[in-house]
Structure 1
Amino acid sequence: MHIYFCGSIRGGRQDVAIYRRIVKKLQMYGDVLTEHVSHADLSEKVIVAEVTQPSLGVGYELGRAVAMDKRILCLFRTSSERVLSAMIRGADSQPASSLFQVHDYAEEDVEGILEKYFGELAKT
């Protein structure tokens, strides 16, 4: 499976460590086409976006993915004290089987969330 990971690059690199953890876990489920996003120095089936750090680029990528009917998982870290964009939050108004899902998470729980998501995906 090909997995496209999105995370803020220009909007701020404060979350690069969590990006690395997410990419490492995603690599268990397939080929991560954009693992460079998780590096400190810097056709898809699943889009995984860490959306805690606001990013116009990630928002654009998500919009394009929606237009292409891609399966999307957005991860928002609630401990950040940020508020997730209402547009992103509102896109997850469908049932859990929806192509677009937003999961709030604590950093220590991210691997479990990915295991559950990809476990359910494997059943389909």
Structure 2
Amino acid sequence: MKRLEKMEVSEKRIKVSEKRSPKIFLSGSIRGGRQLLGTYRFMFDTLEEAGAEVLSWHVADPELEKTEMRMTEEEIYARDMGLLLKSDALIAEVTVPSTGVGYEICRALVQRIPVLCLYSPDASVSAMVLGNPDHLLDARAYPDKASLKKIITEFILAL
């Protein structure tokens, strides 16, 4: 293959990779409480509309508890950590306190994966999230679903 042809092929590969859907790890409370399941579903839908691939779609699944009842703790951990390591970013809903969500946020930051934490303005969010100086962590309050959608979409487009 001639040098020019190689460059053209190489440029095409770059363009294809630039158009690749960002892989997102969606994080939300499971055992800490599922009262925001509707919000998780909205976030999932927003991510898909923005062109992202949601690796941890199970967070927005209303049947998740039934599915996870058939899994061991080790299987759940392995699944979630495996998905996290394949992710380009983590988006966490942190209104409902959750040890698991906090753990996932920490693991993402250790792996240098960008994190967007979203919460209701009246939530008591942990200082470990709001006070974290890591430039890869952004914590934002959303007063309504329109704001939530805008924040998520802007984050995805900036990846």
Q: TM-score category by the smaller chain? A: 0.7 to 0.9
Distance 1:25 1:50 in 2: 13
RMSD: 1.3
| CA displacement at 1:118 relative to structure 2 | 1.9
Deviations 1:8-53 (A, max 9, x none): 0000000000000001111133210011101112221110000000
Task: Return the match for 1:34 from 40, 45, 56.
Answer: 56
> What is residue 103 of structure 1 aligned with on the other side?
140
Richer in strand (by share): 1
Deviations 1:65-103 (A, max 9, x none): 11101010000111xx33110111011x36xxx211001
Q: Structure 1: which 4+ aligned runs deviate by more than 6 Å?
A: none
> What is residue 86 of structure 1 aligned with on the other side?
127
Q: Which runs of 5+ in 2 are unaligned?
A: 1-21, 65-85
Partner SS state of residue 5, structure 1: strand
2:32 touches 2:97 (CA, 8 Å); kept in 1? yes
Distance 2:138 2:115 in 1: 6
Distance 1:115 1:33 in 2: 17
Q: Percent identity between the aligned chains?
A: 36
Q: Sort the Cα spacing of 1:40 and 1:107 in 2 relative to 1 into closer, same or farther, 3 A.
A: farther
Alignment of 1:39-50 (within 5 A): 39-42=61-64, 43-50=86-93
TM-score w.r.t. length of structure 1: 0.86
2:25 touches 2:91 (CA, 8 Å); kept in 1? yes
Structure number with larger C-alpha Rg: 2
Task: Return the match for 1:17 from 15, 22, 38.
Answer: 38
The alignment covers a number of residue pairs equal to 115
Distance 1:29 1:71 in 2: 17
Q: Which runs of 5+ in 1 are unaligned?
A: none
